[in-house]
Amino acid sequence: MNIEIVPCILCSHRIFAGMSHEGIPIRDFSSLAKLTGDGVVGLGTIENDESVSHRFRVLVGEKFSAADLDDYVSADSKFFKMFARFMHPVSRLIRCGSVTVARETYLYEVDTEEWIAHMDSLGFARLEDERKKWARPWTGESLTEALKSTDPAAGKDNDNEDKAEGPGLH
């Protein structure tokens, strides 16, 4: 067999995932777990009274394969290309007296139709959309009632309000 050993840095977080250091790819455990699991990613939206997940299989076949692993650790990984198109650099300025610190980060902003077209262009297999009936969030009144039903002290007069511990606890 022709076996090639490819070094890879596997992190527990996504901060550096998709980058490389001195030619060694940096990847994250969550994305590797996704690939070795079902390999399905989706983008959710709300349409009328349904939540809709537009789904794609990002694996070559039905199960994780050597080809998927090769792509995942490659410098031109399709998996990380699916994000790169929608990442926009942002500088966050923090003023500390006379010093300003710039923190460079990214904003992930995606349009559903653009995302679907991009996933198609990467060659990922489109799966059937998953649709679920969507219950609207609680109203203020129903939220208050729900909170009262879970708090045994709710609705009772609190004569010890001024004795609450910590700032702002009443």
pLDDT, tens digit, 9 for 90 and up, residues 6-34: 899 999 988 888 888 999 999 999 999 99
- pLDDT tens per residue, the chain (170 residues)? 788 888 999 999 888 888 889 999 999 999 999 999 999 999 999 888 889 999 999 999 999 999 999 999 998 999 999 998 999 999 999 999 999 999 888 888 999 999 999 999 999 999 999 999 977 677 888 888 888 888 766 555 555 444 444 444 43
In sequence order, the β-bridge partners of residue 87 are 108
Segments forming the whole domain that contains residue 23: 9-86+113-155
Helices (H), 13-139: 29-36, 66-73, 78-84, 112-121
- Helix axis angle for 66-73 and 29-36, nearest 10°, is 160
Residue 106 lies in a domain: no
Q: How far apart are CA 14 and CA 11, in angstroms?
A: 7
- The count of structural domains within the chain is 1
pTM of the model: 0.70
168 falls within a domain: no
Residue 121: inside a domain: yes
